[in-house]
Structure 1
Amino acid sequence: MSIQGIFPIEKWDFKSESILADLPKPDLQLLMARRLEQIYKKGEIIFREETYATGTFYLVSGKAKKYKVDKDGREQIIYVANAGELLGFHAILSGDNYPDSAAVMEESLIAFIPREDFLEAIRQSDVLNRRLLKTLSHEFVVLTNNLALFAQRPVRERLALQLIVIREKYKAGAEPGMPVEINMSRDDLASLVGTARENVVRLLSGLREEGIVETKGRKIIVLDLKRLIRIANQN
């Protein structure tokens, strides 16, 4: 089922895949000329918070999470990235170290783009400049919405909303006509929602009993998207 017209996904999801989509060929060639591609196994770290930003990373296939780690070693997932998205470019633009960490959530193919190549492409490409500016502006809106979400919404609403957003991530790789399976650990889902794992397990059990979701091990299938949207207080 499509969420078009019934859920404002643009309010809650970054769109960094649009940065390179249909980029003029000379600009893309300049950016990718010295890329290094590598397969990352599930759970492998792409970069760590506060390390020097040597370049940016293009997610060719797979999924990755961006997260912060608190003083007690607990993760807070900021964002889940899909194939086609860039990771780590904020640090290059700001001239700082990486502001967060990133790790793959499943086996992924990632292209590393050296810092110098990324900066040179920005200098030469007006299109890339405009897209980066637009992306950063949109991300600010999404982050503002998420701050309000965590401050004002109960956990059940936050879980419902994140399930809707994450479902769209997994929908991109699903076979047409087949159920969309969210394949995410309960720990990662709890980190994304900003609650304890036990709360996520309990709330998912309630959603399952209501016939809104189905669970198969760690996989979650949304059965009633419209009801989930109502729980998320978005309709």
Structure 2
Amino acid sequence: MKLVQPSCALKAKGSQSLFSCLTPEQLEKVQLHTCHFFKKGQPIFQEESVPTGVFCISEGLVKVTKLGSNGKEQILRIAKPGDFVGYKSLIKGGRYRASAIAIEDSSICLIPKAIFMELLHENVAFYQQIVHLLCEVIDNAESKLTDIAYKPVRGRIAEALLLLDKAFEDKEQITLTREDLAGLVGTVKETAIRIISEFKHEKLIEINKRSIKIINPDGLVKISHLYD
């Protein structure tokens, strides 16, 4: 991890709307954040560690993970530029309930705990936006639980590829390991590899070494909507 220029939190796509309600004085405080460069595979924070602030993704992608009782990693979500991670544990108090790990080289800004909590208490509009963000996270988690319970693995992987395609929108290909893809949809690596191979045979995707390129998004959409 190394320091980078402290200007990216406000430039990160999607983050501007969260800060748009701040006063000039509050915005000046946010601009005092520190930014760090994380290499692929490097943790931003780890489960059970003490929160130090809120992290804003400026460049790159981050997986938010949790270890299951079987010791396997479950990916809760993929955070892209403009997204925030670490705020739920900060608001609730206590230690992190999950880990955040860079899945590609990433530039990430840290807004210190004191500044973030001050904004929550002093700015009602900012507080409401954070509540809205938390509600979205809950909605997405409930949808994921429903999919895991009722949607076949083929449908879950098709949906995951479509979501990842949006996350990797600045690139032509998805570069996620098969282990991470399996962890994202709640299956084992062998099943993920088999279904990816099927999608390639069905000409839904192209595979170039570790990268995946979607060539038939409509076909994946149809598969992602199947529940039987």
TM-score class, shorter? 0.7 to 0.9
SS in 2 for 1:53: coil
Higher relative contact order (CA 8 A, sep 6+): 1
Partner in structure 1 of residue 30 of structure 2: 31
Distance in 2, matches of 1:23 and 1:170, equals 28
Moved over 6 A (4+): none
- Counterpart of 1:50 in 2: which secondary structure? coil
Q: Is the 8 A contact 1:19 1:128 kept in 2?
A: no
CA 1:182–1:60: 2 relative to 1, 3 Å = same
Q: Which sections of structure 1, spanning at least 5 residues, go unmatched? A: 1-15, 175-179
Offset of residue 58 of structure 1: 1.2
The yes-or-no answer on 1:57 pairing with 2:88 is: no
Aligned position for 2:178: 186
Give the CA deviation at 1:19. Answer: 5.6
Between the aligned partners of 2:37 and 2:151, the Cα distance in structure 1 is: 38
* Equivalent residue letter for 1:109: S
Instruction: Choose which of 118, 127, 132 in structure 2 pairs with 1:129.
Output: 127
Q: 1:234 to 1:126 in 2, by over 3 A?
A: farther
Q: Percent identity?
A: 29
| Contact 1:158-1:232 at 8 Å conserved across structures | yes
Map residues 1-235 of structure 1 onto 2, 5 A cutoff. Answer: 17=15, 20=18, 22-24=20-22, 26=24, 27-33=26-32, 35-171=33-169, 173-174=170-171, 180-233=172-225
Once the two structures are TM-superposed, the CA of residue 234 in structure 1 deviates from its matched residue by: 6.7
For the aligned residue pairs, the C-alpha RMSD in angstroms reads: 1.8
Contact kept in structure 2, 1:214 and 1:220, CA below 8 Å? yes
TM-score by length of 2: 0.88
SS at match of 2:54: strand
For 1:40 and 1:164, the matched residues in 2 are separated by 26
Contact 2:61 2:81 in 1 (8 A): yes
TM-score (ref. length: structure 1):
0.85
Distance in 2, matches of 1:19 and 1:122, equals 15
Classify 1:194/1:141 alpha carbon distance in 2 versus 1 (closer, same or farther; 3 Å).
same
Distance 1:19 1:189 in 2: 30
